[in-house]
Homo-oligomer: A and B are copies of this chain.
Amino acid sequence: MTTSRLPARIQDVAAAAGVSVSTVSNVLNRPERVNARTADRVRSVIAALDYVPHPGAAGLRSGRASSIGLVLPDIVNSFYARIARGAAEAAYEHGFSLVLCDSGDHPDREREYFDMLAEQRAVGVVVAPLGADPDRLTRLRRRGIPLVLTDRKMPPQEGCSVAVDDVTGGRLAVEHLLDSGARHVLVVNGGHGIRQCADRYQGARQAIRSRRGARLDQVVAGQMTVAAGAAVARDLSTLPDAVFCTNDFLAVGMCQGLTQRGVRIPGDVQVVGYGDLDVATLAATPLTTVRQPVEDLGRTAVQLLMDEIEASDEHVHETRVFGPRLVPRDSTGVA
Contacts and interface: CB of A to CB of B under 8 A. Distances in A.
Nearest to A102: B88
Interface in A99-121: 99-102, 104, 109, 113, 115-116, 118-121
A156 to B, nearest CB: 24
Number of copies: 2
Interface string A117-133: 01111000000000000
Interface in A48-98: 52-57, 59-60, 65, 67, 70, 74-76, 78, 81-82, 84-85, 88-89, 92, 97-98
A279 B248 CA distance: 12
Interface residues of A, number: 52
B57 A75 contact: no
Contacts of A120: 55-56, 97
Given A54-B121, A76-B82, A67 B143 contact: no
Contact of A56 (B65, B118, B252): B65
B76 A85 contact: yes
B52 A56 contact: no
Interface string A1-22: 0000011000000000000000
Nearest to A53: B119
B100 A70 contact: yes
A28 interface: no
Interface string A224-262: 001000000000000000000000010010001001000
A279 B283 CA distance: 9
Contact of A97 (B7, B99, B284): B99
B76 A76 contact: no
Contacts of A226: 281-282
Contact of A99 (B7, B67, B78, B144): B67
A32 interface: no
Contacts of A97: 67, 99, 116, 120
A278 interface: yes
A53 B121 CA distance: 10
Contacts of A104: 85, 89
9 contacts: A6-B144, A56-B65, A60-B60, A75-B81, A75-B85, A76-B82, A78-B78, A97-B116, A98-B101
Given A67-B67, A89-B102, 8 more contacts: A6-B143, A6-B144, A7-B143, A54-B121, A56-B121, A75-B84, A92-B109, A226-B281
